[in-house]
Amino acid sequence: MTLLIGALTLGAILALLALGVYISFRIFAIADITVDGSLTFGAAVTGILLVKYGVNPLLATGAGFVAGMLAGTVSGILQTRFRINPLLAGILVMTALYSVNLHVMGRSNIPFLGAVTLSSYCERIGHHLFGAAAIDLAGWEVSATDLTVLLLMGLLVGLTALALWAFFRTDLGTAMRASGDNPQMVEALGGNVQRYRVFGLALSNGLVGLAGSLWAQYQNFADAQMGIGMVVWGLASVIIGEALTAAPSIGYAIAGAIIGSVLFRQLVAIALSFGLNPNDLKLVTAAFVFVALVLPDFLAKYGARANRRPA
């Protein structure tokens, strides 16, 4: 049960990453590798604020979001103002962020031991809510803190999803979606496509930075390596979500990314418990995304050939 709750919690936290990747990958059709750097950046900024400066965890978490937005803005400006290929722009910012993160943290890993984090808040709230350190859930003994963390993360992801859904249905959000769909038309209707793109990438990486910040507080440390390969993780979640919802509407897509993230984390947890070597995790994730990307084309081709065969 503890394992399940852990996987659910991490799935919820990484759902924010999936939402960020959804914005860049599906709305703006960019594979934005900035994500790998901005996840760590969010974690690093939150970490140093908590550990070294004892900042209020809510503020420190917000700072993680802002840090991510900053990274996304830089990536966006490289792509628009300087016309650098989006993939390359992402690689540049990600690489630069690696050094930045080491500078921010002062070393490659900072433990949060003793610092007041959102987890410590949850511990207190948990006590308040359940009146004990552990409670009985359908016959399973569950830590009140763990359950509170899960509930809080679920709430946060739900609210974020709702806010995103509402935003993408406003005049501004609709124009941003359209600028991924048909930039020429948006320009002709007076939309500044370049500005939309910068803002979109800022929002996307802001969510990723937030995910990094929460993840670090959940595992109680920030690490310079924690962002590696996370864009692929986000892609996997988005693709699973699309397979499940299969609807082009923005509401379904947002819900899909969240469900995809939680589900993918469950799959990984199960695979690990069945003896998958953690070192192979990234390989398996990459292979999964590869298959998911080529499978539809392959099936279409194979299906067409099968149909053409005389009966």
Partner 1 sequence: MNATLQPMVRISGACKTFHAGTINEVRPMRGIDLEIAEGSFVIVLGGNGSGKSTLLNAIAGSFLLDAGRIELDGRDVTAWPEYRRASLIGRVFQNPFSGTAPTMTIAENFSLAAKRGLMRGLGWAPSRRLRDELRERVFELKMGLEDRMDTAIGSLSGGQRQALTLLMATWLRPRLLLLDEHTAALDPKSADQVIALTDRIVTRERLTTLMVTHSMQQAVNLGDRIVMMHKGQVLHDFSATQKRRLRVDDLLACFEDIRRRELLDESAAEMLQGQYV
Quote the CA–CA distance of 191 and 179 in Å, as a whole number: 8
Nearest CA to 218 among 104, 122, 141? 122
Using the minimum distance from each CB to partner 1, give the nearer residue, 125 or 175.
175
Q: How far is the CB of 30 from partner 1 (least distance, A)?
A: 16
Distance linking the first and last C-alpha atoms of the chain:
53
Using the minimum distance from each CB to partner 1, give the nearer residue, 168 or 233.
168
Q: How far is the CB of 186 from partner 1 (least distance, A)?
A: 7
Q: Which tokens in the block code for residue 232?
A: 């692929």
Confirm if 18 and 253 have CB atoms less than 8 A apart: no
Q: Which tokens in the block code for residue 35?
A: 């994500």
Alpha helices in 183-280 (DSSP H): 183-188, 193-219, 230-245, 250-273
- Overall residue count recorded for the chain in this entry: 311
Q: How far is the CB of 174 from partner 1 (least distance, A)?
A: 4
Q: What is the number of other CB atoms lying within 10 angstroms of the CB of residue 92?
A: 17
Using the minimum distance from each CB to partner 1, give the nearer residue, 174 or 219.
174
Using the minimum distance from each CB to partner 1, give the nearer residue, 168 or 264.
168
Q: How far is the CB of 269 from partner 1 (least distance, A)?
A: 34
Question: Which helix (DSSP H) or strand (DSSP E) does residue 162 occupy?
Answer: helix 144-167
Quote the CA–CA distance of 210 and 83 in Å, as a whole number: 28
Using the minimum distance from each CB to partner 1, give the nearer residue, 99 or 170.
170
Three-state SS for 310? coil
Q: What is the number of other CB atoms lying within 10 angstroms of the CB of residue 98?
A: 18
Q: How far is the CB of 38 from partner 1 (least distance, A)?
A: 25
Using the minimum distance from each CB to partner 1, give the nearer residue, 2 or 182.
182
Using the minimum distance from each CB to partner 1, give the nearer residue, 63 or 193.
193
Query: What φ, ψ does residue 225 adopt, rounded to 5°?
Result: -95, -5
Q: How far is the CB of 161 from partner 1 (least distance, A)?
A: 17
Quote the CA–CA distance of 210 and 13 in Å, as a whole number: 9
Sequence-distant (≥ 6) Cβ neighbours of residue 112 within 8 angstroms: 47, 50, 51, 216, 217, 220, 221, 222
Quote the CA–CA distance of 60 and 53 in Å, as a whole number: 10
Q: How far is the CB of 206 from partner 1 (least distance, A)?
A: 17
Q: How far is the CB of 117 from partner 1 (least distance, A)?
A: 33
Q: How far is the CB of 256 from partner 1 (least distance, A)?
A: 15
Contacts to partner 1 by CB under 8 A: 167, 169-175, 177-178, 181-182, 184-193, 248
Using the minimum distance from each CB to partner 1, give the nearer residue, 57 or 180.
180
Using the minimum distance from each CB to partner 1, give the nearer residue, 130 or 199.
199
